[in-house]
Amino acid sequence: MHFDDRLATVLRARSGNRHAACTQFRQLLDILGSETHIIGNTQKDRALARLHDLTQKLPASTLEKIIRTPGTRLRNPELLATLCDGNPKLSAAALSVARLTEEEWADLIPQLPISARGFLRHRRDLPKAAERILADLGVQDLVLPGPVHAANSSSLEPSEQVTVDHIGVSHESDISSLVARIETYRQSSTQADTIRSRPKRMAGCDFATDRAGRINWAGEPATSLLVGFFLPIHEALTEGHDRQLGDLIRRRQPISNIRIDLSGAEAISGPWNVNASPRFDKETGRFIGYAGRLSRLPDKDLLPEDPDTDSKSDKIRQMLHELRTPVNAIQGFAEVIQQQVLGPAPNEYRALSAGIAVDAARLLAGFEEVDRLTKLQSGAMQLTEGACDMREVVTDTVKRLEGPLRPRGAALGLHCKDETYPVALTEEDAQQMIWRILATVAGALAPGEVIELHLSGDNMTLQLAVDLPMAMLDTEDLFAPSTETRTRPLSAGMFGQGFTLRLARAESKAAGGTCNIIDERLILTLPILTADTQINSHSNTEENSPSPIWQ
């Protein structure tokens, strides 16, 4: 059996200061706003009374900000009626976020104060029954329609303008002529109303906001349509990007090319581009809001997106983005414990947290490799152009692998000429690609096994030929995903040799080369830079002999 004592706990709390009162109001609003029925329960009646007292105690602007917070749940007509029985700002905020059923709206609207009913004219999502009730009660948009311009009735001569006085004292004896004139006047008025009421899609307008980002002024003819919109909740969500408009407003930073989606009248509905600058009071220097311009996005942005853009690569990158967040948090907390940032911790906990931090770092490194492979395969990423000597890169990598291989008696023997092999890659990209290939091959070496590497080239391309170890010769497709669970003493990645070799192949393809298995050899080919490219080589005096490891 479960007992919900949340309301009793909140009511027992004291609200002596303003901060405590705001917290209690927010808690009561959240709890009562989620209940389906309130009236009839003594405890909930007490909660409503406390909520009413808080509305009298706290400033209306503070309460309005709390109610308009994204995620506020207000699904109870009794609570909504309580909030609307008071300050107009509070009523407007509550009615703008309320979500009731059609029957609840029908029962509540007649009970609302007349001033509160007027705020419902801004709602474009009310049920049809609620709109009919508002129409019956005479609640319409309070913005007065503009006068009919003379141009709209220019078809009538001044002498033909029909008024009540004209009808009463008309000297025209022909009744049919009088009826025709009345019909002409009626048609002219109807056409003028149609022209006036026809919505036009605005291309842009100037606007100003308050400190929270709510539009409090807009240029004509959008004044009545835009005033009251809270910009942060209308920010358009795009894949791989979080909301940033609210954060910019909190930091008082300029808003540049932020997309929002407005709903409402046809004149303003659709995607817009927001550019605004913060405003500060000239005398006090206090932040008072933003001033800027809304620009409607071009028609091409209104077209549906090409389904091909929603590819598997995009989904994988989005998934990696969502995975990095918790892993980063875990790594951060583990490092806080291990480094005793918040105070002393037992050595056992520090040891465990250090292991967790290492595992989190390995996961993040694996995510980076998956992201890199996805971008390279989809063409979303290009390798940075540079210049390095591939002979030097291969030689250094072989030397780095000497230490892990020596205890097992295994070795890599490098054969190359006393030449430089310049390639259009940065030294970092070249080292990563060669390490993936050679470390994967070295990890498959059996104790005492030795394989040869041959680096050669001409004026156009270079070729690195690596003999495959015996353990890799039985594999039908070395680039296929690996299901091997055995831990290797040396590994180039956490996803197995198949993934690592596919990543190296994608990198070589992005550099204009190839990486294939030919005659029990892994062959890497890359284009060589032209002779006028300067290579920053640290060594040009190597002998034409096997590397020290082979010796």
Alpha-carbon distances, residue 254 vs 205, 258, 289 (angstroms):
18, 10, 11
Phi, psi of 270 (to 5 degrees): 125, -175
Both tokens of 334, joined, read 């583990």
Question: How many degrees, rounded to 5, is the angle at CA 12 between CA 6 and CA 18?
Answer: 105
Tell me the CA distances in angstroms from 59 to 25, 73, 90, 313, one per residue in order: 12, 21, 10, 50
Which secondary structure element, helix H or strand E, spans residue 80, and what is its range? helix 77-84
Question: Contact, 254 vs 277, CB < 8 A?
Answer: yes
Q: Identify the pLDDT of residue 378.
A: 77
Burial class from Cβ neighbours inside 10 Å (0-12, 13-18, 19+) for residue 319 reads middle
Contact assessment for residue 29 and residue 51, using Cβ atoms and an 8 Å cutoff: yes
Interacting residues of 359 by C-beta distance below 8 A, sequence separation 6+: none
Query: What are the beta bridge partners of residue 430?
Result: none
The Cα–Cα gap between 109 and 103 comes to 10
DSSP 171: -
pLDDT tens track for 438-479: 988 888 888 899 999 999 988 888 999 999 988 888 777 888
CA-wise closest residue to 31 among 16, 13, 19, 18: 13
Domain 204-302 indexed as CATH 3.30.1330.10: no
**For 42-79, what is each residue's pLDDT tens digit?**
777 788 888 888 888 888 888 888 888 877 878 888 88
pLDDT of residue 114: 77
User: In the prediction, which pLDDT does 302 show?
Assistant: 44
CA distance 157 to 74: 57
pLDDT by residue, tens only, the chain of 551 residues = 355 677 788 777 777 788 888 888 888 888 888 765 555 567 777 888 888 888 888 888 888 888 888 778 788 888 888 888 778 888 888 888 888 888 888 888 888 887 777 778 777 788 888 888 877 776 554 443 444 444 444 444 444 444 444 444 444 445 766 667 677 767 666 555 544 444 467 788 899 999 888 998 888 777 778 888 888 888 876 554 556 888 888 888 889 888 888 877 778 888 888 999 999 988 888 999 999 998 888 654 444 444 444 456 677 777 877 888 888 889 888 998 988 888 888 999 899 999 999 998 888 888 888 888 888 887 778 888 889 999 999 999 999 998 888 888 999 999 988 888 898 889 999 999 999 899 888 888 888 999 999 999 888 889 999 999 888 887 778 888 765 555 566 766 777 788 888 888 999 898 889 999 988 899 999 998 765 444 444 444 343 444 444 33
| Amino acid letter, residue 155 | S
Rounded Cα distance, 499 and 501, in Å? 6
Q: What is the pLDDT of residues 223-266, one digit of tens each?
A: 778 888 888 888 876 554 556 888 888 888 889 888 888 877 77
- Return the pLDDT at 238: 55
Q: How far apart are CA 434 and CA 36, in angstroms?
A: 65
CB 500 within 8 A of CB 506: no
Calculate the alpha carbon distances from 105 to 102, 112, 142 in Å. Answer: 5, 10, 21
Which tokens is 371 given? 């992201």
The domain made up of 388-527 has a fold known as: Heat Shock Protein 90 (3.30.565)
Query: What CA–CA distances, in Å, run from 445 to 406, 412, 429?
Result: 12, 10, 25
Kindly state the helix (H) or strand (E) to which residue 372 belongs, with its residue range.
Answer: helix 347-378
For 527, the enclosing helix (H) or strand (E) is: strand 521-527
Task: Please identify which residue in the block is written with the tokens 């609840």.
Answer: 104
pLDDT at 303: 45
Angle (CA) 189-191-193 rounded to 5° is: 70
Distance of alpha carbon 353 from alpha carbon 347, whole angstroms: 10
Rounded alpha-carbon distances, angstroms, from residue 493 to 163, 322, 366, 474: 90, 21, 7, 21
The tokens describing 142, both together, are 């309070």
Q: Spell out the residues 6+ positions from residue 270 whose beta carbon is closer than 8 angstroms to its own.
A: 201, 261, 262, 296, 297, 302
CA torsion sign, 275 to 263 to 64 to 215?
positive
Give pLDDT, residue 276: 92
